[in-house]
Amino acid sequence: MGAQKTTAMAQALAALNPHIQVQEYGTKLDGKNAQQIIRGYDVVLDGTDNFTTRFAVNAACLSAQTPLVSGALGRFDGQLAAFKMDRPTNKESACYRCFVPYAPPDAQTCAAVGVMGALAGIIGSMMAMETIKIITGAGQPLYGKLYLYDGLNGEARTINLAKDPNCPACGS
């Protein structure tokens, strides 16, 4: 049996950059603990592989008004979005559930369908880029936008994400 994912990741990150501080949480993030864990951070990156966790992260970020950078992988395609989460001051800002209100019935996990390491590298690096932009104030984060990358055809496009007034998380 190998090391916990969090411990393996903490060790890998420390080897990459000894100047960073890593806090491990050896527990599954859920609707009960997400708020408490997320509250202390300036920005959150979500690359989880199930909608229950994504919805819990979204709700916690909304509650704490913490920007959320969301990345997802298909077999050969990737998605990237950023959500400002500064309600109620910005009523125009979409959240993750404005985009995905409910878990699709045909949702598949990376573990089930497989994922290409190169694709994870592309979307992961883009998530890092969005995070640096949000922290430093440089450029325009992908707030309210969805970046779609088609790996097989080498094409990408960006579409606008509208706030849904009937969103189960941020709707009125």
Given the rule CB under 5 A, which residues bind Zn ion? 95, 97-98, 167, 169-170
Among all residues, whose Cβ is closest to Zn ion?
Answer: 167
* 3-class SS of residue 98: helix
Residue pair 24/63 in contact by the 8 Å Cβ criterion: no
The DSSP code for 94 is -
Shortest distance (Å) from residue 119 CB to Zn ion = 27
> Which strand (E) or helix (H) includes residue 45?
strand 44-46
Shortest distance (Å) from residue 98 CB to Zn ion = 3
Q: Which residue lies nearer to Zn ion by CB, 55 or 149?
A: 55
C-alpha to C-alpha distance for 158 and 82, rounded to whole angstroms: 12
Shortest distance (Å) from residue 158 CB to Zn ion = 19
Q: Which residue lies nearer to Zn ion by CB, 47 or 101?
A: 101
